[in-house]
Structure 1
Amino acid sequence: MSGAGKTCAVVIGASGGIGGAFEAALIEEGTFGTVHGFARSRSGTQHLDLFDEGTIAAAAAHVAKGPPPALVIVATGLLHTADRGPEKALGDLDPAWLAQVYAVNAIGPALVAKHFLPLLPKVGKPVFAALSARVGSIADNRLGGWYGYRASKAALNMLVRNLAIEERRRNARAIVVALHPGTVDTALSLPFQGNVQPGKLFDAERAALQLLDVIEGLNLPDSGKLFDFEGKEIPA
């Protein structure tokens, strides 16, 4: 992200655990002149709802008024709600729930890319990164279950690959990737933390810093791929 001092950074989902940690870390580092944080729960120019493309377009228009974004991070995800958890078996499939999970985990990030990728500068090493998950890897799926979450993250990984290919034609300097943060101590993972091996549950601040290190080490051939928090490529 060379030349980042004359650019800005954008965090989508900045009210969440890891999104907020990204925003705080980027502000503290001071690499970027401005750090824009957007979230559904925020108001005014910081409001962005993945279910409403108009708010995504408005957020992009707001960012476009200033220095271009050399880093855009989509730190959103849906695994469960207060009254609905991930499917354990085929009989649990529900079309409304599947649509909601896809809207947050795949369609929303794609719409963010639609409006924000054209803003990336054509100099330096601009990065568009979306949080995915190892369970979205088809090759790595050995347990099954979690139909909506797995499938929507797999869809996100394919969307990232598509976006990377198209973006290469428009902006040869841009890198588009999906990132797996590991199991982070947030509301998303809370009901399932009992199954996490010792030392494998990361606090949000550590997870954000790890992924920022991964982002810093990316190069053009990495575009379109999925990487974990150690910078290791995960098969899609």
Structure 2
Amino acid sequence: MASLRENYRALVIGASGGIGGAIAQALEADTRCGGVIRLSRRDNLGFDVTDDASVGQAAQRIAAQVDGLDLIFNATGALTIEGVGPEKALKAVDPQVMLKQFALNAVGPALLLKHFAALLPRDRRSVFVSLSARVGSIGDNHLGGWISYRAAKAAQNQIVRTAAIEIARTRPLAVVATLHPGTVETGLSIGYRGNHAAVAPSEAAANLLDVLNGLPPESTGGFFAYDGSAIEW
């Protein structure tokens, strides 16, 4: 993480998940890191990324502990919610299922940006990244299906891009972006990997950290894959 300052501070949201946990472990193993804060619904009682007050309270609590955050990594999100997976056809669309997808995969990142963007320093490079998915790309959609999940991730991409424009006005060195981790051996992808080769969470974490490490401020608002390539909207 040479592009972040010595003794940088990091926050991993969704740190109890497969990718989030691997990201936190990789950062904790970095001798240049000054500390990693782990935040998750499982380990922080009452924390809920879909609840405005909950996210606001978490941000206030963390702001009182540190003098800014150099890296904020949002690893929250889900493909299957409350046992319901992605739809395969229009006739399967359920409005309540769709709302839950949007709450977690779009509203959640919006609330995190709303409350945590102020913790990014104004005078040095900082990074806010949020996990998205290639299936959230409108231009890259050639298979159809998965309407609720695709739409929620596409909404997240727009939220992050719009937030990046605003954040750049006061924090010109900040990078705000969405990342596609590829197919990872986690509970999220079980049953949906198909013929796609899956990588271990530790490998996925290393790939993602390499990507964000190489992103210049000019790339803020972008959508990138685990290999650093840009993904069309």
* C-alpha distance in 2 between matches for 1:146 and 1:12: 25
Q: In the TM superposition, what are the counterparts of 1:179-198 in structure 2 within 5 Å?
A: 179-193=179-193, 195-197=194-196
* C-alpha distance in 2 between matches for 1:109 and 1:52: 11
Secondary structure in 2 matching 1:234: coil
Aligned length: 230
* C-alpha distance in 1 between matches for 2:50 and 2:161: 22
Aligned to 1:2: 4
* C-alpha distance in 2 between matches for 1:136 and 1:168: 24
* C-alpha distance in 2 between matches for 1:184 and 1:69: 27
Q: In the TM superposition, what are the counterparts of 1:110-189 in structure 2 within 5 Å?
A: 110-189=110-189
Aligned to 2:228: 231
Q: What is the one-letter code of the residue matched to 1:196?
A: N
* C-alpha distance in 2 between matches for 1:83 and 1:27: 33
Q: In the TM superposition, what are the counterparts of 1:3-42 in structure 2 within 5 Å?
A: 3-5=5-7, 7-42=8-43
* C-alpha distance in 1 between matches for 2:31 and 2:81: 35
User: For the Cα contact (< 8 Å) 1:137–1:154, is it kept in 2?
Assistant: yes
Gaps of 5+ in 1: none
Aligned to 2:56: 57
* C-alpha distance in 1 between matches for 2:111 and 2:26: 25
* C-alpha distance in 2 between matches for 1:82 and 1:162: 30
Q: What is the one-letter code of the residue matched to 1:29?
A: D
State the TM-score, normalizing by the size of structure 2. Answer: 0.95
Is 1:218 aligned to residue 215 of structure 2?
Answer: yes
User: For the Cα contact (< 8 Å) 1:10–1:73, is it kept in 2?
Assistant: yes
Secondary structure in 2 matching 1:145: coil
Over 3 Å counting, the alpha-carbon distance change for 1:2 and 1:192 in structure 2 is closer
Q: CA deviation at 1:196?
A: 2.7
Q: CA deviation at 1:202?
A: 0.9
* C-alpha distance in 1 between matches for 2:152 and 2:82: 20
Q: CA deviation at 1:33?
A: 1.3
Q: CA deviation at 1:62?
A: 1.9
Secondary structure in 2 matching 1:41: coil
Secondary structure in 2 matching 1:34: strand
* C-alpha distance in 2 between matches for 1:110 and 1:81: 19
Q: CA deviation at 1:37?
A: 0.7
Q: Matched residues, percent identical?
A: 43
Q: Which has the higher helix share?
A: 1
Gaps of 5+ in 2: none
Q: CA deviation at 1:4?
A: 4.3
Q: CA deviation at 1:100?
A: 0.5
Q: CA deviation at 1:82?
A: 5.5
User: For the Cα contact (< 8 Å) 1:4–1:70, is it kept in 2?
Assistant: no
Q: Give CA-to-partner distance per residue, 1:125-161, whole Å, 9 cap, x none.
A: 1000000010000000000000011000100111111
User: For the Cα contact (< 8 Å) 2:50–2:111, is it kept in 1?
Assistant: no
* C-alpha distance in 2 between matches for 1:58 and 1:34: 20
Q: What is the one-letter code of the residue matched to 1:208?
A: A
Q: What is the one-letter code of the residue matched to 1:207?
A: A
